[in-house]
Structure 1
Amino acid sequence: MFPDDFLFGTATASYQIEGAWNLSGKGENVWDRFTHTSPELIIDRSNGDVACDSYHKYEDDVVLLKKMGVQFYRFSLSWSRILPQGFAYKINPDGIRYYNNLINLLIKNNIIPLVTIFHWDTPQPLEDLGGFTNELMTDWFEDYARVVFENFGDRVKLWLTFNEPKQICLQGYGRNRNAPGYNSSGIGDYLCGHNLIKAHAKVYHLYDKEFRSKQNGNVSITIDLEWMEPGTNSTADREAAERSLAFSFGWYADPIFHPNGDYPEIMRKLVSERSKREGFRRSRLPQFTKEEVEYIKGTYDFLGLNHYTTFLGKDISEILTDGKPSVEKDSRTVTWQDPSWTASTSGWLKVVPWGFTKSLIWLNNRYQNVPIYITENGVSDHGEIDDQGRINYYKHYLSALLDAIHDHNVSVKAYTAWSLLDNFEWRDGYISRFGLHHVDFNDPGRKRTPKASAEYYRKVIAARKIDGID
């Protein structure tokens, strides 16, 4: 059984579902630019111009949420819909109205809004100034957050500043996997992470200072964790797996959640050593001042966790210094997945439930019993209505979650199934479908159809258990 106070929800992100990319005063964001100028980078050459058209169909979405019986709905705000130029001098009343209508409708239906302030869609005018490689982004993000708290904070009590900084920084600035696609691994991604962490802390302190006493909400950040299992039982590979966790999760989490603050020690050490060998005058990983370490440390009310899958890690400490810098070289690890693990339509996502339990135990130990909200968990397919593979995934991952709660005393407070709808799945376009509800993207009305998994999830929520639920 799930604890009595445990919350169940589902989630979406603005660019992936809203559409209306250039309507009602919305400005251009990096994913608009990325998909329009480089459609060849998207598997089916698609974009989020219309997506699920949730900008016009949000009422239908709330009906779906109500039928499933979820207690909360996690969605993100489009920065460009609220501030078309990115800067707070010009607020778009239609954007404010849209989110007010959605929030009010959720509350009317007894569904808690869990709001992500930023889910990857930087306003293009700010990206033109360097985006998260520009330290001024911390101020611009704080200005945006203040507008958000002022307009929605009287009703929204659960906030996430950022979704998955690793995907923003490592894949967007370090590689060209995500927008803006800078391909500056080992430099651009470290700059992005440094400024993003400071921006998160600034917004947390803003809320503490100006809004918490009146609004009584909770603020945190959500970080994605792929469990890293040693490729062999050798000491080198076990250390490599732990290093990989430090470089992929601790990078963003330790400055906020670790009792000591700052980046993981092994990360600081290895990047500094390698930078010196490569001829850099200083470490490519920026340093926090002592004052910044203290300012950032403890800026959370819970830990948001996205988890999908597991990898294997191997030590490559003998790697040469030739070639461009990269995070992979800094971490001295390579990762892969066991080909025998059950696959999904997403090349990176294998079904490995035991990795979920291990992830939660590791987090519990590293961050001293921090309360955890699972803010995304799910699996992709081709959009089948009778999606037994997704039901099987949820059964096993929810069972792994219960193992962590009951057998290892991990303090997990909520679970979020990704996603409410089939949607624009970034580089996969509309090929990979994560939704509990099928969306017909050939239908101008974007018809939604509940999948078998939506009914399964409804039963789990109603019974508050997974045993005996078909």
Structure 2
Amino acid sequence: MFPCGFAWGAATAAYQIEGGWEADGKGASIWDTFCHEKGRVFGEHNGDIACNSYELWDRDLECIQQLGLTHYRLSLSWSRLLPDGTTEHVNQKGVQYYNKTFGDRVKLWITINEPYVCAKLGHEDGIHAPGLKEPGTAAYLVGHNMLRAHAMAWHSYDSLYRPKQKGAVSLAINSDWVEPLHPGCPDHVAAAERLLAFSLGWFAWPVFVTGDYPEIMRSAIDAQSERLGHSGGSRLPSFSEDEPQVLGTADFFALNYYTSRKVKPGGGHGRTLCMKSDRDAEEVLDPSWPISGVSWLAVVPDGIRKLLNYIKDTCNNPAVYITENGFAQVGPLQIEDERRCEFYKDTILEVAKAVGEDKVNVRGYFAWSLLDNFEWADGTSVRFGLFHVDFSDTQRRRTVYRSGQEYAKMIQKYKSDQSR
């Protein structure tokens, strides 16, 4: 049984759906620049038009209403609001598009989405914007600055807006569930602990637990630096006492969960300064887990229950919103997407168990995504939507998947159960 007022939603992100990349005074974002460089994205796809939600926002609203959602998670394009990247020029047409003055109605705010992905994939692996490959250094610095920026934003909201608007602010942390390949082997257990520290712990520990990075993360980075003769002190920055405090700067835990992994030691090779060698843990797929359309996404519904319990036990039992969770489809279009229907049914059942049996304080669930959209380096070749978007159609026609219909039925059922 889900609690009264439980948020049933779906999520999107600005660059992935809006299009209108030069419309009404918008500036270029790092993703605009990245996608316009050859060879960066599958099929040379880009988000110049995407779902064209900038013009077709009313169609999106119809989709939201058709599903019976109680909440919708969207993002704001800062390059649309602040075209030159500073507050010197605020684009009023961007403000009008988002109605940025709606703080009196929006009660849940997220400052940064998936800082791990931005730091590692964008600044170490180079497969996301801005496409930098600076292993072992840039990702940690970028992650640190995102945490500092988040803390500043939280304190600003807390002092200037919360007394009147009474909203809540957090950052969305993505994490797989991981467990040792051989639970009886101490080395495998330690590798799993390190991997969790380098993913969820990297951003959860400073905000929810200690105000600093996990000790297991810092000691591993320092040890690898010394082993390879790195000069210049720790590659993992420290928080300054002169800056706004990071600990406590989240009013709820926003979790993006997609998959699980088994873990064993190794995989870092021990020869280079990079995150993989720092954490010295290798991820392994359990052959019993089915794979969704993309190779990285093993379907493990009970992983979300285990991860929710881990968050409850290690992060002081926060209120949790599952802000992203979904199932990918590739290849031939399947409107009758039975596997995704089963995925949502099984996953939401595991969330219900976490709430009812484990007493995890889960407040909401947001499916990724409302629409098929631009899926970053995969372009439009990967489809996560509850509604299919025909990217060959200039009108970007939306068609509900079977999974969208089934999700709507689940929402109605659980809402009906809550009212009894």
Q: Which range, TM-score by smaller chain?
A: over 0.9
1:254 pairs with 205, 208, 214, which one?
Answer: 205
Q: Is the 8 A contact 1:385 1:451 kept in 2?
A: yes
Provide the secondary structure at the position in 2 that maps to 1:197: helix
Question: Partner letter of residue 348 of structure 1?
Answer: W
CA apart distance, 1:176: 0.9
Q: Which residue of 2 aligns with 1:107?
A: none
More helix by share: 1
Q: Which residue of 2 aligns with 1:335?
A: 283
Aligned-residue identity in percent: 44
Q: How does 1:320-469 map to 2 (within 5 A)?
A: 321-322=270-271, 324-382=272-330, 383-464=333-414
Q: Which residue of 2 aligns with 1:51?
A: 50
CA apart distance, 1:291: 5.3
Q: Which residue of 2 aligns with 1:22?
A: 22
Which one scores higher on RCO, CA 8 angstroms, separation ≥ 6?
2
Q: Is the 8 A contact 1:399 1:466 kept in 2?
A: no
Q: Is the 8 A contact 1:35 1:46 kept in 2?
A: yes
Q: Is the 8 A contact 1:69 1:458 kept in 2?
A: yes
The Cα offsets for residues 253-307 of structure 1, whole Å up to 9 and x where unpaired, read as 110011x220001111111121122222311111123455x71100011010000
Question: Partner letter of residue 246 of structure 1?
Answer: A
Provide the secondary structure at the position in 1 that maps to 2:170: strand
CA apart distance, 1:421: 0.3
Q: Is the 8 A contact 1:169 1:189 kept in 2?
A: yes
**Counterpart Cα distance in 2 of 1:313 and 1:339:** 13
**Counterpart Cα distance in 2 of 1:36 and 1:268:** 37
CA apart distance, 1:466: 11
**Counterpart Cα distance in 2 of 1:419 and 1:164:** 15
Question: Partner letter of residue 66 of structure 1?
Answer: Q
The Cα offsets for residues 367-404 of structure 1, whole Å up to 9 and x where unpaired, read as 11100000001011134211111111101111111111
Find out whether 1:73 has 2:77 as its counterpart.
Answer: no
**Counterpart Cα distance in 1 of 2:386 and 2:83:** 31
CA apart distance, 1:407: 1.5
Find out whether 1:95 has 2:94 as its counterpart.
Answer: yes
Label 1:307 to 1:458 Cα distance change in 2 as closer, same or farther (>3 A): same
Q: Is the 8 A contact 1:360 1:404 kept in 2?
A: yes
The Cα offsets for residues 305-355 of structure 1, whole Å up to 9 and x where unpaired, read as 0001001111129x6542x31111111111121233211122210101121
CA apart distance, 1:6: 1.3
Q: Which residue of 1 aligns with 2:5?
A: 5
Provide the secondary structure at the position in 1 that maps to 2:43: coil
Q: Is the 8 A contact 2:204 2:315 kept in 1?
A: no
Q: Is the 8 A contact 2:195 2:279 kept in 1?
A: yes
The Cα offsets for residues 69-127 of structure 1, whole Å up to 9 and x where unpaired, read as 10000000000000111101111111111112xxxxxxxxxxxxxxxxxxxxxxxxxxx
Question: Partner letter of residue 224 of structure 1?
Answer: N
Question: Partner letter of residue 325 of structure 2?
Answer: N
Q: TM-score, with normalisation over the residues of structure 2?
A: 0.95
The Cα offsets for residues 225-278 of structure 1, whole Å up to 9 and x where unpaired, read as 1011111121110111011000111011110011x2200011111111211222
Q: Is the 8 A contact 2:17 2:50 kept in 1?
A: yes
Q: TM-score, with normalisation over the residues of structure 1?
A: 0.85
Label 1:81 to 1:271 Cα distance change in 2 as closer, same or farther (>3 A): same
Provide the secondary structure at the position in 2 that maps to 1:80: helix
Provide the secondary structure at the position in 2 that maps to 1:351: coil
CA apart distance, 1:46: 0.6
Provide the secondary structure at the position in 2 that maps to 1:55: coil
Q: Is the 8 A contact 2:12 2:370 kept in 1?
A: yes
CA apart distance, 1:465: 7.3
Q: Is the 8 A contact 1:344 1:351 kept in 2?
A: yes
Paired residues, number: 413
Find out whether 1:287 has 2:286 as its counterpart.
Answer: no
**Counterpart Cα distance in 2 of 1:211 and 1:465:** 31
Q: Which residue of 2 aligns with 1:42?
A: 41
CA apart distance, 1:360: 0.5
Q: Is the 8 A contact 1:384 1:438 kept in 2?
A: no
**Counterpart Cα distance in 1 of 2:296 and 2:416:** 27
Label 1:433 to 1:320 Cα distance change in 2 as closer, same or farther (>3 A): closer
Q: Which runs of 5+ in 1 are unaligned?
A: 101-147
CA apart distance, 1:49: 0.5
Question: Partner letter of residue 182 of structure 2?
Answer: T
1:237 pairs with 175, 178, 188, which one?
Answer: 188
Provide the secondary structure at the position in 2 that maps to 1:295: coil
